[in-house]
Amino acid sequence: MAGGGFCTLPNGSVVVAITLPSPKGGAASGTPVRVLVHAANRPRALTRLRNAGLSSVYLRGNAEPPTPDEITAVLHHPDGLLWRARPERAQELWHPIRALLRPARAVPAGGTA
């Protein structure tokens, strides 16, 4: 089961953070990922994740709420939907969700993509 949590901001919007196993064929295959989403409320946040391709995402409880750094990252990103591998490495930056969910490109026989 995925761990996660949420934080309600002073303006009433919500930041949801969920730790998920990496989708098959994703950019970080085999490594759990931390996904952040900013939305007007929790149901809308989960709907945004489902619409992005993470179809069976549920938030039960608030065991792993977003940290202040995670909240800052998602609020300053234009999409409001980010991920990075977990456990976090200080050098790794947050990535837009489309980088996680796009299919891996096949490298042609010449060796360049």
Is 84 part of any domain?
yes
Residue 112 is assigned to a structural domain of this protein: no
**Residue 93 counted as domain residue:** yes
**Strand, helix or coil for residue 98:** helix
Residue 107 lies in a domain: no
- Tell me how far apart the alpha carbons of residues 94 and 10 are, in angstroms, rounded to a whole number: 24
Q: Do the beta carbons of residue 2 and residue 54 sit within 8 Å?
A: no
pLDDT digits (tens, 9 = 90+) for 42-86: 999 999 988 888 877 888 888 899 999 999 999 998 888 998 886
Q: Sign of torsion, CA 34 38 39 42? A: positive
**Could you give the CA distance from residue 30 to residue 39 in angstroms, rounded to a whole number?**
28
Structural domain includes residue 38: yes
How many structural domains is the chain composed of? 1
User: Over the stretch 20-52, which tens digit does the pLDDT of each residue have?
Assistant: 876 655 555 567 888 999 999 999 999 998 888
Residues of the domain holding 29 = 3-101
- Confirm whether 52 is domain-assigned: yes
